[in-house]
Each structure stands twice: as structure tokens, then as C-alpha cells.
Amino acid sequence: MAQNSKVVSAYNSLKSGDYDKAIEYIEPATEHAKSMSDPKTWLYRGQIYQSIVTSEDDFKVDKKTALQESIKSYEKAKELDTRNRWEDQIFFGMAQVKELALNSGIVAYNEQKFDDSRDFFLMRVDISAAEGEVDTLAIYNAGLAAEQAEDYEVAISQYRTAAETGYLGPNLYLYMANLYQKLEMPEEYLKVVKEGRAAYPDDADLIVYELNHYLQKGEYEEAENNLKLAISKEPDNKQLHFSLGVVYDNLDRRDDAKKAYEDAIALDPDYFDATFNLGAMYFNQGVEMNNAANDIQDNKKYAAARAEARKVFEKAQPFLEKAHQLDPTDISAITSLAQLYALTGENDKYTEMKAKEKALSDQ
């Protein structure tokens, strides 16, 4: 009788809005052998904690904990209500806390309380799962909030669950890859990108993500294959043509590199990276030829070799000058031009570039 009286008192305190008092009454009832098996006890407990969440006032229990306890209470009430006497009220309460979890997650996210936002969205995920539903929006939101909270393990877990439903197509594989990159886990990065590639073989972004891994690892043959595939999907993507040029540069395939850089420049005549790299490629080739000429003892052959090297420097010059024109502050272009002018004997231009080089280094 005493425990039943506490349940009634808890209900009365709930109705009067004294939720702290209601908790004082209901908690002992949930531990007593007589009342702890009564679904009504847990139903009222769920309603008490739910009211704290929706109230604008502050109570002894914070709103996140209150929502967790409300959900737990309704689930316990449902388990104990074998005769379905309280079925409608339990169902209504669960529906309300389910929406509260989602809305609270959104509010916390907008307030940049990302840890709380993650937890609220995960509550929504768990409620839906208990009802046999896969709430992809809540799962994705939980991942997004976890990522912002730098809880990357949970973020990846939620993104993966959402990805397995096809939610947002290939994007979630990209998100997971980004997190593995932050965690400096290249093997997991490549694994998840390959999973994405298997699910979405024509997605250009996933192709580029796989390419980036190969470039960072210096696996240029694999990078070449990836780039060719990517270009077949996006032939007008200048970045892909430029990257292919870089790969060929590293494989010492200059003719192929030249063609790739020229393709990039054809798509964008003012593309600095491709313009500079093409000029630098010719310049480096000229330096190699010059160095080789210095080892020649025969004066006639030496002069001929230097003349050939100068022709290559002349090929480099317009591209390096265009690169400098496109970005006057790029130190690499300035330094390369200074060296080029020194080798070709253009002293005035050399002096000009050295002055620019010094001015930038003094900044």
C-alpha cells in the first residue's frame, strides 16, 4: 500500500508540475518488489522524465538524462504490460520521446553542442531499431554530429550503417574515407573507397579518392590506370589530365606527360599548375642535357650538345613566363625563371627575377 501510495503521489506531483518531487516518489517505487513489476509505475516514470524534457524550467535532472530515462521507462512499461492495459498510453509516450530525440538532436547541433546532438540522434536510432525500423536520417545525423564532436569511431559506424541502406549514394563512402584520412589509417581509407567503388563503379569522386591514395603512396602504375578510368568518365576535367601528367612525370614518361599537360591547358589556357609543370618538365630536361654536355671532351660535340639543351630551354621559357604571369607571387616559377635566364645568358631578366625572389623571401 505504501508503494502504491508513492506511485499515486508521483502521478499527482507530475500533474502539478513538481517534477523533482515526482521523481522522489517514483524512484523508490521502481525498486520495491510490489510496484516494480507494475507497468503503471514505469509508465508514470516515463511521463515524468518526458515532462522534464519538454519543460522550459530546469530541474535536478538534465534534459538529456531525462530523455534517456523516459525512453527506458516506456520500454520497461511495454515489456511488463502483458495484458495491454496501458498499450495506448505507452505507444503515445514512445512516439513523443521519439520525436523529442530527433528535435533535441537538431537543436543541440544548431547550438554546436555536438556531443549532446550525437547522443540525442542515437537515442532516436535505438528507439526506431526497437520498433523494427531503420531510421536512415537519424543514423546519418548521428554520424554527422559525431564527426563534428571528433568522435570519429561512432561517426564511421553510423555512416557505414547508413551507406549499407544506399542512403546518399556514394557520398557516405567519401565521408568515411575522409575520416580515415584524418585518423591516418591509409589501409582503411583504401578499403572503404574500394567498397564504394564496388557499389558505385562509375562515381568519379570515388575514382579520384582511390587515385589520391596511389599518388600519396607513389604507386604510379595504379594511379595511371585510375586516372585513365576517371578521364573516360570526365573527359573535360582539367585536374584529371593534369594529375595524369604528374604521374607520367614521375614515371619518366615525358612524351606522355607533355600530352597530358597540353590536354589540361587546352581545357583551360590559364591553368597555372599544368602550365608551370610543362615548363618545369622542359627546364629539367634541359638541365639534364646541359649537365651531360659538360662531360663531353670534344669541343665541337660539346657545343652541339649545349645547343640542343638551349632548344629545350627555349621550349620551357614561354610556359614558365606564362605561369609567372598567371601567378606573379609564385616563388617556384620565379626561381625557375631566374635559373633559366642564367643558363640562357639573359642577364637583365635574371636580375629582375632575383630581385623578385628576394622581395618575396623578405616578406
The candidate with the shortest Cα–Cα distance to 35, out of 4, 71, 67, 80, is 4
Could you give the number of structural domains in the chain? 2
CATH number where 363 lies? 1.25.40
Residue 300 included in any domain? yes
**Residue whose C-alpha cell reads 542512403 in the numeric block:** 167
Q: Could you say which of 269, 291, 309 is where a domain stops? A: 269
Residue 159 included in any domain? no
Q: Is the pLDDT of residue 273 over 80?
A: yes
Tell me, what DSSP letter sits at residue 297?
Answer: -
Tell me, what DSSP letter sits at residue 16?
Answer: H
The percent of residues above 90 in pLDDT, for the chain, comes to 83
| 98 touches 128 (CB < 8 A) | yes
Residue-wise pLDDT for 175-199, tens only, equals: 999 999 999 999 999 999 999 999 9
pLDDT interval class at 111 (50, 70, 90): very high
| pTM for the structure as a whole | 0.73
The answer on 309 and 292 residing in a single domain is yes
Q: Is the pLDDT of residue 58 over 60?
A: yes
The answer on 275 and 329 residing in a single domain is yes
Report how far apart, in Å, the C-alpha atoms of 205 and of each of 201, 245, 320, 328, 355 are: 10, 19, 31, 32, 42
Higher-pLDDT residue of 52 and 229 is 52
Q: How many CB atoms lie under 10 A from the CB of residue 354?
A: 16
The answer on 322 and 281 residing in a single domain is yes
Report d(CA 262, CA 274) in Å as an integer: 8
CATH number where 235 lies? 1.25.40.10
Tell me, what DSSP letter sits at residue 128?
Answer: H
Residue-wise pLDDT for 311-337, tens only, equals: 999 999 999 999 999 999 999 999 999
| Measured CA angle at 110 (ends 109, 114), to 5 deg | 25
The candidate with the shortest Cα–Cα distance to 105, out of 67, 160, 71, 131, is 67
pLDDT interval class at 211 (50, 70, 90): confident
Residue-wise pLDDT for 126-172, tens only, equals: 999 988 999 999 999 999 999 999 999 999 999 999 999 999 999 99
**Residue whose C-alpha cell reads 605561369 in the numeric block:** 323
Q: Could you say which of 210, 236, 269 is where a domain stops? A: 269
| Measured CA angle at 24 (ends 102, 93), to 5 deg | 30
The answer on 360 and 329 residing in a single domain is yes
The answer on 275 and 265 residing in a single domain is no
* Domain membership of residue 245 as a residue range: 194-269
Q: Is the pLDDT of residue 1 over 60?
A: no
Residue 60 included in any domain? no
Report d(CA 89, CA 14) in Å as an integer: 15
Instruction: Identify the three-state secondary structure at position 199.
Output: helix
Mean pLDDT in the chain? 93
The answer on 279 and 236 residing in a single domain is no
Report how far apart, in Å, the C-alpha atoms of 124 and of each of 54, 136, 269 are: 16, 10, 52
